Chains A and B, each alone.
Chain A
Amino acid sequence: MARVASPCTDPVVLDMWHPISAAAEIKPGRVHTTRLLGSPVSYTLDGDGQPVVWRADPALRPGMPVDAARITERLPVIDRFCFIWTSYGDPPDRLFSIPEFDESDRRTFAAASIGVHTSAPRAVENFLDMGHFPYVHTGILGVEPHTEVVEYDVDITEDNEVLATRCLFYQPLAALAATKGQMTEYTYRVPHPYVAMLYKTAPPDPSRLDAIAIFVQAVTEEQIVAHNFLCMVDHTNTDSELKIFQQKIFGQDKPIIENQMPRRLPLAPRAETPIRADKSSITYRRWLSDLGITYGVVPEAA
């Protein structure tokens, strides 16, 4: 247990950007505290509404008023895709891109930030899997007997992202805006070791794609907060309805990922037997290995 909760020493992970809160959920001038990579961090919004993040100080307890101007030892921070991101190390100048985020008619928001007993890579891997749809999201994202995961492509892009394309699956209720079952085409992206995104046909306008992501905050190696992000083409349902739909789907996944043991993701190729449908998972695990990630995984024996 001590190892699991102790502060992260993985240099690759320390240098990454990490999501810590939906921007809309921060009360200006109040201390908020969460845990990231085994250590507590605090954050608030300053007088101009800009986020400020610092290593937690026991004297500044959650909920207390704070004058952000007096916080001098700050951690790097960016406000992007409806969330606040920080880093303990030397993060890249920019976060990955989501071009759809800037399309003016999109509905973009934080759907919910939910704590889960698992590692960040386990949550990302589950998000990439289609094989579980008929069994876990029965009647919504899949239904028996339509259980086949047909051949799809997985590549590492020039920007060093995992990209799975031509992923086809029969879905009875692909989105809240769907009125009937459809073959849905998915594209999956892993633009960051702890972020998984999917693009899928938007039922109201089949020429466009809804974008859904989980931005994973690694609280410890085996405890996460999954920040759900939506970027939708849907002009019928309310924000609240879209959020609840996403929460329902995520709530169905939760016991599945919490029961995967070990909680850290094994990277050795033979640690867990993959099948053809797990092609994106195999690529993701190999990619994490190549990046040298050791936090939240069981590294391959040297």
Chain B
Amino acid sequence: MIKLYNYELSANCYKQRLFLSILGLDYEAVTIEFFPGMEHKSEAFLEINPLGHIPVLDDDGFMVRDAHAILIYLAARYDPSGRWYPTSDPELLAKTAQWLLFCEGTTSTASAARLHDSLHYDFDIDAVRAGAHRLFRVADEHLWFAEQEGYDWLVPTDHPTIADLALFPDVILSEEGGVSRQDYPALHRWTDRVKRIDGFTPMPGVFFAAPARA
């Protein structure tokens, strides 16, 4: 049985819950009280992850930590189509890796702004918001051009990749950190497409897409 150590309100943990739901995999969610209990820094949890952060995945004794590493593992192990993490195509694989790394940037900017505003973390709020806008601008332009070429997703292929799931939470929750998405129409259209992926599941602060117009 897959076990996911996670926290309900965490954007980084949502990525795994989303992918597990899309893959239709059963799993046990083990709640770590990130706030206010700081359980991820407790001695008991440091035995599970000495870095003291969540999420951590335990698949029948195989342990893997870090949000994006878990996505890679789940795709490689449980997606026989090979489309979520396209290892067989060097160019698509490189682009997927590139956007996964891009998401490390949104974690330290958009996600940090949300932690600052909601959970009182001590960040330079103006700097992290500006950083988030810089990255959102890049993603918005990229998606606008992708749409012109007939692509719906970050990586130029006809199927979403784990990079889309890795970016989605920081974008869709950005307004909780005071980062408006008003100026990023292509990014907005892309969030609606992610919400329509089969098996999509929300988290607190995220809603299902409105029903598609006939």
Contact = CB atoms under 8 A, between A and B. Distances in A.
A67 interface: no
A243 interface: yes
Nearest to A255: B205
A255 B120 contact: no
Contacts of A25: 36
Contacts of B205: 251-252, 254-255
Interface residues of A, number: 26
Given A114-B119, A115-B120, A240 B33 contact: yes
Nearest to B7: A244
Contacts of B117: 115, 117
A116 B204 CA distance: 14
B175 interface: yes
Contacts of B178: 117
B203 to A, nearest CB: 8
A77 interface: no
A112 interface: yes
A241 interface: yes
A295 to B, nearest CB: 20
Contact of A241 (B9, B31, B118, B122): B31
A251 B33 contact: no
A265 to B, nearest CB: 20
A113 B119 CA distance: 7
Contacts, number: 60
Given A247-B9, A248-B8, A254-B176, A114 B118 contact: yes
B209 to A, nearest CB: 14
A255 B202 CA distance: 13
A22 interface: yes
B39 A252 contact: no
Contact of B36 (A112, A254, A259): A112
A242 to B, nearest CB: 11
Interface in B62-94: none
B175 A255 contact: yes
B35 interface: yes
B35 A112 contact: yes
B33 A244 contact: yes
Interface string A96-131: 000000000000001011111100000000000000
A46 interface: no
A110 B8 contact: no
A244 B118 contact: no
Given A114-B118, A115-B119, A255-B175, A244 B31 contact: yes
Contacts of B207: 255
B211 interface: no
Contacts of B31: 240-241, 244
Nearest to B33: A240
Nearest to A114: B118
9 contacts: A62-B122, A117-B175, A225-B120, A240-B33, A240-B37, A240-B39, A247-B9, A250-B204, A251-B205
Given A244-B31, A248-B8, A254-B118, 11 more contacts: A22-B36, A34-B120, A115-B117, A116-B118, A117-B117, A243-B33, A247-B204, A249-B204, A251-B203, A252-B205, A259-B175
| Top-9 shortest CB links A-B | A251-B204, A240-B33, A252-B204, A115-B118, A115-B117, A248-B8, A251-B9, A255-B205, A248-B204
